[in-house]
């Protein structure tokens, strides 16, 4: 009997799964699929790589290379595969992408039971789970049928036509423009000087529909500065969440500018 290979989203989740199943073979998907263009994500991913390079110009590797590595992994998935998901947009998107890459080949799906969550709709990602919770879920796998695989793959093809920000709520996906959360981020910034990471952290804590990342928050905060909606205490042309202090500019001051 062959030994299954486990596929999970994110390094934190992978660490928890390794603790739960010490002898397991584990593959890790890393692309933050709720964010940015998807049209070429399964091809050369040039547009997606350019997008992520704009979001985080300080990333120490070439995004094109990392996206290519993930495509290569998906193209060579073993026959005996187990996919893990929680209750998050990123994991639901990953599931559909894997179904598309499998070309009708079944896999085992483990949906981890609900854990305690402070987020709307009880949203949780597997990186939030304890090893014991994943260990308890290891026997809950079910084989995906051909109709299910086809439906998931077709949904992925449709989703690749979307851009901006994707959310998963009440069993359905929705999409909104990339700047649709900027006003909320602006309101998280105090009118007094504060560390930028505090405002971004509050904004991330208000995640709804998908988990907001510090990368996304840092990028949008920098763009708020360029738009004259917030002001930075330090002259920092290359915005750094760790070393910047920020304050919100009132609407009157923005209009005056």
What's the CA gap between 27 and 6, in Å, rounded?
6
Dump pLDDT digits (tens) for 75-134: 999 999 999 999 999 999 999 999 999 999 999 999 999 999 999 889 999 999 999 999
In this prediction, residue 71 carries a pLDDT of 98
Which residues, including other chains, have CB under 8 Å from residue 160's CB and lie 6 or more apart? 38, 39, 41, 42
What's the CA gap between 206 and 208, in Å, rounded?
6
In this prediction, residue 2 carries a pLDDT of 57
Low-confidence ranges of the chain (pLDDT < 70): 1-2, 235-242, 252-257
Which structure tokens are listed for 240? Answer: 């750094």
Which residues, including other chains, have CB under 8 Å from residue 212's CB and lie 6 or more apart? 181, 203, 204, 206
Of 94, 84, 91, the C-alpha closest to 137 is: 84
Which residues, including other chains, have CB under 8 Å from residue 60's CB and lie 6 or more apart? none
In this prediction, residue 1 carries a pLDDT of 34
How far CA 9 is from CA of 1, 13, 71, 142, 220, in Å, comes to: 26, 7, 14, 18, 24
In this prediction, residue 243 carries a pLDDT of 73
In this prediction, residue 253 carries a pLDDT of 60
Which residues, including other chains, have CB under 8 Å from residue 87's CB and lie 6 or more apart? 114, 117, 121, 122, 123, 124, 125
What's the CA gap between 257 and 251, in Å, rounded?
10
How far CA 44 is from CA of 9, 78, 163, in Å, comes to: 21, 23, 17
Give the pairing of strands 194-195 and 245-248.
antiparallel
């Amino acid at each position: 009997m062959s030994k299954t290979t486990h596929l999970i989203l994110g390094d934190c989740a992978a660490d928890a799964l390794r603790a739960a199943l010490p002898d397991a073979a584990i593959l890790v998907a890393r692309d933050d699929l709720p964010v940015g263009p998807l049209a070429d994500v399964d091809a050369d991913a040039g547009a997606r790589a350019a997008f992520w390079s704009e979001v985080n110009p300080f990333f120490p590797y070439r995004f094109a290379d990392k996206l290519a590595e993930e495509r290569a992994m998906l193209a060579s998935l073993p026959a005996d595969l187990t996919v893990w998901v929680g209750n998050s947009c990123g994991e639901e998107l990953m599931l559909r992408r894997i179904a598309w890459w499998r070309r009708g080949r079944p896999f085992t799906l483990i949906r981890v039971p609900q854990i305690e969550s402070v987020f709307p709709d009880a949203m949780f990602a597997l990186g939030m789970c304890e090893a014991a919770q994943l260990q308890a879920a290891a026997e809950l796998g079910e084989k995906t049928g051909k109709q299910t695989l086809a439906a998931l793959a077709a949904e992925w093809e449709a989703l690749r036509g979307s851009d901006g920000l994707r959310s998963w709520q009440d069993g359905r996906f929705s999409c909104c423009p990339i700047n649709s959360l900027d006003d909320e981020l602006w309101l998280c910034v105090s009118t007094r000087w504060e560390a930028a990471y505090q405002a971004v952290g509050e904004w991330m804590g208000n995640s709804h529909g998908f988990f907001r990342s510090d990368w996304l928050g840092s990028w949008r905060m920098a763009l708020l500065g360029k738009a004259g909606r917030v002001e930075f205490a330090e002259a920092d042309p290359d915005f750094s969440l760790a070393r910047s202090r920020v304050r919100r500019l009132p609407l009157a001051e923005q209009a005056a500018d």
